[in-house]
Structure 1
Amino acid sequence: MTSLRSAHHERLRRPSRLRSLRLGDTTVTYVPDGAVQLTPRGWLPDTTDETWERHCPYLDDTGHLVAGIGGLLVERGDRALLIDAGFGPQSLPAEPGNAHGAIHGGALLDNLAAIGRAAGDVEAVAFTHLHIDHLGWALHPAPGGVGRALPRAGYLVAEPEWNRRHLLEAHGTSEDMLNALAPYVRTVADGQEVFPGVQVRFVPGHTPGHAAYVITGGQRRLIAFGDAMHSPIQIAHPEWSAASDHDPAQAAEFRRDLVTELARPHTIGFGIHFADVVFGRVRHGADGPSWQPVDA
């Protein structure tokens, strides 16, 4: 038991590698692009120093929460959908006063190739929201500078997210970025099926039009919940909202519902920023709900 706990703690301190699950005829794969370090009290401002003394396994050797950045590839037969598009081939240094530290990306296309997929295989990118660490390769040209990095992909955005996109400029998504996306954007409605077995669900709070995607296959379903949560510690504390949440109270309300839903039978969650435990389910124990990694 001690060795299992130690291995789990080690995974909380590093960004995820490529990880895949099968859902019947559908394969879902976390495709890493990079990582960012989050300052624990800056990112989750309702926490205290005592909080992190009690929960030190969530922090790396520099005292940060580790958050991976990437996308979720959904494959069914020859078809491929990407949920979110990483940060892209760029890096930003840590700056004093920011709730996050250094952030870097650039590995997504290479990791797609490692699982046998070319960028041109992706028929659409379905965004959970339009923050820059999810837009990534949708904004960058292909290596060599000719055409788009994801040349065939349309961009699927929740209708309220696109209609209120001007509010995202305060979080770094500039008007120029939004204008670059616009020719390829198709808005989607709550409950719409955007790919075989993939349904969008509007869950505003982190942004005005934040979306989750429910992927059903075989006898299991997976909820890709985007930035509704940034760390598995929020499973036990859904009241802790992130500094970047547009509406913290609304975001916390959805997290409470999400924790309940993730505890249901045959339900798996996907937390894109959940260190190296991106796939998991909620289990209730004596100390309340917790995140249990799922690897198959």
Structure 2
Amino acid sequence: MSGTSAHWTVGDATIGRVDEVVLEGQGSWLLPDATAELVAGQPWLDPSATDDGGDIRLSVHSFVVDIGGTRIVIDTGVGNGKVRDNPAWNNLDGDYLPRLGDAGFDPDSVDLVINTHIHRDHVGWNTTLREGVWEPTFPNARYLVARTEWDYWSAAALSEDQQRMFADSITPIRQAGQYELVDAQTPVEIADGVELIPTPGHTPGHVSVRISSAGETALVTGDFLHHPVQLAHPRLCCGVDIDPAVSERTRETILSTIADTETLLLGSHFTHPTAGRVRSTATGFVLVSAAAIP
């Protein structure tokens, strides 16, 4: 993987992180029970995980994967020029595409785009505005989402903001014939060494992405985890989880399954360390950093 993007190797696969925006002052609605006192009680957390006032800090980024010649983008952030209710996401004008290039990923070279779920900070760079028209950012890619996820949102009563998201980030992909629904109620392989793993709760069809190569494994979380403090406190739920009880069970099941293994966990909203290995302690789980390759 060329350029300056930090990355990790998993067997013969390479996983890079492409940053878009850091979120601060969002903890009150994202993880309302993650108080400054509770977070401060986890001394293993990296200082970047909180702001100066102790509120949680999150990152919006994509993961890019090169495995066996297949090139994949996992989640596409907020996007430039998207009108959004959240001021932190509204009408961004960032350098995501140059950062993508730094990671060695020309948009034309991407084979697959995975939307772990249909939320505004995970689908934005699905499209780019060109001469007043939203067009696929990745013109040669298949865009994948779980069928359960699509079925839920296509039948839901959408807010105006959600309607804008569909209009600028989802509908153009469908009209281009590039959007594909995947039956992912059980793990399903979408490319050699790449599986979608059902991790529901945050949304009904939410999936995570498991990458396996040469005996090594990584798991890209999506939003079954938002912040590493949830390893220590899996009962901490996101304020917009559609089914908090299912979300909690998903966290406990996945973390228990990968704890004390060599599975590399990559947090879709973690600041630093973005990646690490889950370890059990007497009081809960912690994340032990896996340093990125500069």
Q: TM-score range by the shorter chain?
A: 0.7 to 0.9
- Relative to the length of structure 1, the TM-score reads 0.83
Distance in structure 2 (CA, Å) of the matches to 1:206 and 1:32? 22
Correspondent of 1:186 among 176, 180, 197: 180
Q: 1:242 to 1:64 in 2, by over 3 A?
A: same
Deviation at 1:209, TM superposition (A): 0.7
How far residue 21 of structure 1 moved from its aligned partner, in angstroms, is 1.1
Q: Answer with 40-49 or 156-165: which moved more.
A: 40-49
Partner of 1:5: none
Moved more, 159-168 or 194-203: 159-168
Q: Distance in 1 between matches of 2:105 and 2:35?
A: 44
Counterpart contact for 2:277–2:289, Cα < 8 Å: yes
1:75 matched to 2:66: yes
**Which residue is 1:102 aligned to?**
88
Residue-by-residue CA offset, 1:4-44 (whole Å, 9 max, x unaligned): xxxxxxxxxxxxx9321111221111111222224334322
1:165 lines up with 2:153 in the alignment? yes
Rate the CA distance shift 1:187–1:168 in 2: closer, same or farther, 3 A.
Answer: farther
Alignment partner of 1:86: what SS? coil
Q: Is 2:125 the counterpart of 1:137?
A: yes
Contact 1:69–1:105, Cα closer than 8 Å, also in 2: no
Give RMSD over aligned pairs.
2.7
Letter matched to residue 112 of structure 1:
L
Other-structure match for 1:238:
234
Match for residue 279 of structure 1 among 269, 272, 275: 275
Q: Is the 8 A contact 2:17 2:61 kept in 1?
A: yes
Match of 2:144 among 140, 156, 159: 156
Offset at residue 85 of structure 1 (A): 0.8
**1:127 and 2:119 matched:** no
Structure-2 change in CA distance of 1:243 and 1:153 (3 Å)? same
How many residue pairs get aligned? The number is 275
List alignment gaps of at least 5 residues for structure 2. Answer: none
Question: Given that residues 91 and 102 in structure 1 are in contact (C-alpha distance below 8 angstroms), is that contact kept between their aligned partners in structure 2?
Answer: no
Structure 1 counterpart SS, 2:256: helix
Residue equivalent to 1:85: 76
Give the SS at the match of 2:97. Answer: helix
Amino acid paired to 1:282: V
Question: Structure 1 residues 205, 38: CA separation in 2 closer, same or farther (over 3 Å shift)?
Answer: farther
Identity %: 29
1: CA distance, partners of 2:117 / 2:196? 12
Q: 1:269 to 1:67 in 2, by over 3 A?
A: same
Summarize the Cα distance change of 1:170–1:38 in structure 2 as closer, same or farther, 3 Å threshold. Answer: farther
SS state at 1:27 partner? strand
Report if the CA contact (8 A) 2:112-2:141 is conserved.
yes
Structure 1 portions without partners, runs of 5+: 1-16, 96-100
Larger helix share, 1 or 2:
1
